[in-house]
Structure 1
Amino acid sequence: MRLNAQPLCFLLLPRPDHRPPLHRPALPLHAFALATLIGLSSLSGNAQAAIAMLAPAREAAASEPLQITLLYSGDEAKKTLTLSPPPTLRLLLTSNDLAPQPIELTREPGTPATLRLRPGEFRKVRFSAPWPDSARGVVRLDPVGFDASPALVTINRGANQIQIANAERAESQATSAGQVAAASASVRPDGEPLTPSGDELTTNRDTMARISYFEPMYVGVGSNGDTTARFQFSFKYRVLMPDDLRSKRFLDNLYFAYTQTSIWDLSANSKPFRDTSYQPQVFYDVADTGWRSTWFSRMGVAAGIGHESNGKSGTDSRSINIAFVRPTWEFGDLSANHLSLSPKFYYYLEKSDNRDIADYRGYVDLLVKYGSPNGWQLAATLRKGMKSWYGSVDAQLTYPLAKLLGSAWGGYAWVGYFNGYGEDILDYNQRQHTVVRIGYSIAR
C-alpha cells in the first residue's frame, strides 16, 4: 500500500485484556489513536504524514459489516498535505473451523479520493465489507500488503447481537467509570462481561475455540530411587459452536475431552512405561456462570461423566467410571495474582477392578491455584481417602519461558511434586514418597 508513491508502515495494537467494566481505564479516542501511530510517510519536501490503523471492536454483530478505520494525521507536517487514501484494503480472515479466506474492504462512500490536512489536523477513513456467512466464534484478522499486527474479533450471531455491539462501542469510547458501567449494564443487568470467558488453545481466558486445552500438558523427569518421567496431554472438543457465545444451554456447552497420563520408568531395562491412564469424559462446562458476589470474582461449573482405566488385563487391570460436578471460584483481580478453588465431587458408578479405591482416593479432588496469567502459578490437587490418613498431594509450579529466555519462547518451566497414594491408577493403593520432577509445560 502506498501514499504519494512512498511506502507506509502500519501497526494495529490489540485492545487491552478484558477486565471487569468498572476497572477498565478510560482512554480518549485521540489519545488511543496517537498511541497507535507508528509509520511516517514522506509526502513532499520535508513534510511528513502519519497514518495508523485503529483496533476494531473486540465484539462485532454478524449482521453489521466488518469495519476498519485508518487515521491520517498531519501532526508532523509543516504545511498543508495532500493525501490519496486507497480505494480498498485486504484482510485475511482465519478461524479454527475454516481455512483462511481473503476479504476486500471498500472505502466508505462519500470519502474524497484526495484529502487535504493542515498541520495538526486528523482525518479518519473507514473501510467495510460484510462478514462471511461461515465465520463464527473468534476470528483472526491479518492485514495483507502492509505491516500490521493481527486482531482477534468475536462474532456474535445471537438475538441481541446489535445491542451487544453497540454497548461494546459505547464502552470503548467511554471517558468515565460511570459511562463504562452504563454501557455494560445495557447488555446484562447483572453486569456479565461483554466477552465470554476462555475456551481456547491457550491458558489465557479471553477467546473461544472448538478445540482447546483441558488439563495441564507437560513432561518432567525426576528421581526417588528410580528415575521416572511423567507426561500428560489433554484436549477437549466443543460439540456445538453456538450463535450466542454467552449461551448457557446444555448443548451449546457440551464437551468431549480426552486426557492421557503416563509414568515412564527410565531406570529399568528397555525403559518401559510403568502405567498409563486413559481418561475420556463427556461433560457440560460454563467457565463463567454470570453469578456475582462480593467475595468472588467469577464462578464456573462443570458436570458430566468420566472413565479412567489403564488398558491392562488380569491382576493389573484398573478401571473406574464416575459422575462428577465441579464448581470453580476465582478470587481477586483475574489479570494479576489471584486465587482459584475448584473442588471436584464425584460418585463411582463402577469400580469392580479396584473396589477399595475410595479408601485411598476419596470422593473429592480439591484443586487450589494461585498465581497470575502472565507470571508464576502454583497449582495443587489434594485428595483425602476415606480410610486412615490415605491421600495425596500433587503440585505443579510453572513460570513462562518467555520471561526467562526471551519472547520467542512459548510454554512454561515446570516443577512437579507428588507425595502420597496413587500417582497412577495401577498403584492407587501404593504409597509413593516424595518425588520432584523438572520439565516443560505447554499448557497449565
Structure 2
Amino acid sequence: MKLIVRPLHTLFFTLAATLAVTLLNMSQAWAGMAYQLDQTHAIAGETINVKAVLFNDTGNTLSWRPSKTLVLQWRSESGQAIRSLAYLETAPSQVNVPVNNFVQFAWRAVVPKGVKGLQAINVEGRPTLLALDTNPLEKSPIAGTPAHAQIVDAGAAPEGRKADPVLPKNIVAATGASINEGPAIDTLQKPITTPSAFDNFRNALSPYEPIYFDVGTKGGTNARFQLSFKYRLFTPADPENPKFFDNMYLGYTQTSLWDLSASSSPFIDTTYNPSIFWHKDALWQADSKQWFVGLSTGVEHKSNGKAGADSRSLNDGFIEPQFNYRFDGGSTLTFAPRVKAYMGITDNPDYADYAGHVDWKLRWAQDNGLVLSGMYRHGNQGHQATQIEAAWPLQRTFLNMNGYLHVQFFKGYGETLLGYRQNSDSQIRVGLSLVP
C-alpha cells in the first residue's frame, strides 16, 4: 500500500470545498416582509401606522434599507382608487439582520378625505392587502384594477376643504411611483430608479470582525482599536437563491496597539489583514430553525508594514465552521473554531509555535442586548492566549446613543504581530464598540 502525503493546507481546502458544496445543495433560503395596520378602524383625517416585520430566513446576514416613503392604494367597494403616501417614522438607515432574526419598522399615514366604508389597502409594489374599516356599518369588496389616480397629500388639507391637494410631480417621482397610475394589487412594480454606484458599493459593504476602540492603563495608558469590513464581490441576481460565487467576499481588518503615555504617543504595532474568502451564515438549518450551521473558508495575509528585524509577515489558509443555536428567549450561541494552515512564514518560522493552528471562539449574543465572546489559542510548550469581551448597547443606557459599551480582557502571547513571542500580562481595556 502506497501512502500519499499532502500538505496540510491542501487538505483543509479540499475539506472546505467538499463541505461547502455538499451543504450548499441542502440549503434553501428566503426573506419575507410582513405588513399590518396597528388598528382596524379609522375615519378620514385620522393617522394610522403601517407596521412591517422583516424576517431573515436566508443563509446570510441580510443588509436592507427601508424606504423613506410608501405609496398606499385605497380601494372602496365601488372600485374607486385613491393613492397617498406613508412616511417612515425613523430616519432611513441600513440594517443588518442576522440569520433567523427580524427587525420592525413603522410608517405613518393619514386616511384621505375621500375614503369611505371598508377599504382594501395595498402597499404599492408589494403583494400585500390590508383592511381598514372607515364606516363599521358598511362592507366593501376588494378591487384589483390599476389605480388611475394622482397621489394626494392627505395631511395637508386645511379644515373645511373637501379634497386633499395633489402632490407635485417631482415629489411623486422621488418615491419611484408613476404620476397618475399605480399597478394592480397583484402586480409587483419594478423599481423605476436605478441604484447609484455609491448605493451598489454601500449595499455590498458590511461588518466583518468586531470594530472597537478601548483604553487601558496597565503599564501606562494605552489603546487597542480595530477596524474591519467585508465586501461582497457579486450581487445575486436572485437574492433568495444565490449562486456559489455570490458568497465570495474581500475582507480587511486592521488592529493597532497605541501607547498614549509615551512621548509623541507612538503606535507600538499595527496588523494589516486583507483576505479573500467564501462565507455563508446558514448552509444548513434544522426544521425548527433553532440549529443552523455556517461556514467561512479562504486565505488571508497578515503583516505589520515594518522592515528589517521588526518585519512580520505571514499567510494562512483557514476553514471556520460555525455551529449556532437560537434560543427561544431571543439570543444566539455560536461555536466557531477557525483552523489555520500557514504559508510563506520563512521570516517568522516559529509563529505557529506561539499562535497554534486553531482559534477556539465562542459567542453568545442577545437581540439588542448583551454580547459575550471569547477566544482561546494554544501553541507549543505552553504558549497560549485568551481574549474575553463583553458589550452592552448604549441605547439601553441613560446616554441613549449608538454603539456599545465595550470591555476587553487579554492575556498571553500574540497581542501584537510584532510581539508574537512576548507574553503579555493580563490587561483590561474599556471603550466604545460599533460592532461587537
Q: CA deviation at 1:290?
A: 2.6
Shift in Å at residue 68 of structure 1?
Answer: 6.2
Deviations 1:211-241 (A, max 9, x none): 1010000101012122110111111111111
Matched, 1:397 2:390: yes
Return the alpha-carbon distance in structure 2 between the equivalents of residues 356 and 296 of structure 1: 41
Superposed CA RMSD in Å reads: 3.9
- 1:9 paired residue number: 47
Residues 102 and 55 (structure 1), Cα distance of their counterparts in 2 relative to 1, 3 Å cut = closer
- 1:95-114 map, 5 Å: 102-104=175-177, 106-107=181-182
2:191 pairs with one of 109, 119, 131: 131
- Which residue matches 1:238? 232
In structure 2, what is the equivalent of residue 377 of structure 1? Answer: 371
Q: 1:42 Cα shift?
A: 9.2
Shift of 1:126: 8.3
Counterpart CA distance in 2 for 1:222 and 1:421 is 18
Question: Partner amino acid for 1:392?
Answer: A
TM (norm. structure 1) is 0.62
- Read off the aligned partner of 2:52 and give its amino acid letter: P
Matched, 1:330 2:354: no
User: Deviation string for 1:291-329 (max 9, x for gaps)?
Assistant: 538896111111111000000011111011001111101
- Distance, in Å, in 2 between the alignment partners of 1:388 and 1:236 is 35
- Report 1:354-365 matches (<5 A): 354-365=348-359
Distance 1:37 1:435, change over 3 A: closer
> Residue 244 of structure 1: SS of its match in structure 2?
coil
Once residues 262 and 355 of structure 2 are traced to their aligned partners in structure 1, the CA distance between those partners, rounded to angstroms, is: 28
Q: Secondary structure at the match of 1:315?
A: helix
Corresponding residue for 2:281? 287
In structure 1, which of residues 318, 321, 324 is the aligned counterpart of residue 315 of structure 2? 321
Kept in 2, the 8 Å contact 1:103–1:129? The answer is no
1:264 corresponding residue in structure 2? 258
Change in Cα spacing, 1:88 to 1:132, as seen in structure 2 (3 Å) is same
TM-score normalized by the length of structure 2:
0.63
1:39 to partner: Cα distance: 6.3
Q: Report if the CA contact (8 A) 2:391-2:406 is conserved.
A: yes
Task: Decide whether aligned partners of structure 1 residues 330 and 128 sit closer, same or farther in structure 2, where only a CA change above 3 A counts.
Answer: closer
Alignment-derived partner of residue 215 in structure 2: 221
Query: What secondary structure, in the 3-state scheme, does the structure 2 residue paired with 1:240 have?
Result: coil
SS in 2 for 1:358: helix
Alpha carbons 1:365, 1:383 under 8 Å: kept: yes
CA offset digits 1:82-134 (Å, max 9, x no partner):
xxx992459xxxxxxxxx9631153456xxxxxxxxxxxxxxx8896333485
Change in 2 beyond 3 A, CA 1:373/1:41: closer
Contact 1:39 1:50 in 2 (8 A): no
- Check 1:334–1:350 CA distance in 2 against 1; reply closer, same or farther (3 A cut): farther
**Corresponding letter in the other structure for 1:404:** T
Output the CA distance in 2 between the equivalents of 1:265 and 1:398.
Answer: 24
Q: Judging changes above 3 Å, is the alpha-carbon distance between structure 1 residues 397 and 37 closer, same or farther for their aligned structure 2 residues? A: closer
| Aligned match for 1:418, one of 390, 410, 426 | 410
1:206 matched to which residue of 2?
none
* Structure 2: gaps of 5 or more residues: 1-42, 59-105, 141-146, 153-172
Change (3 A) 1:42 1:233: closer
Match of 1:171 in 2: none
CA distance in 2, matches of 1:238, 1:375: 27
Q: CA deviation at 1:411?
A: 1.3
1:159 paired residue number: none
Do the aligned partners of residues 15 and 312 (structure 1) sit closer, same or farther apart at CA in structure 2, a change above 3 Å counting? same
Deviation at 1:135, TM superposition (A): 6.4
Residue segments in structure 1 that go unaligned for 5+ positions in a row: 21-35, 57-64, 91-99, 110-124, 140-199, 202-208
How many correspondences in the alignment? 317
In the TM superposition, what are the counterparts of 1:163-312 in structure 2 within 5 Å?
A: 209-247=203-241, 249-292=243-286, 297-312=291-306
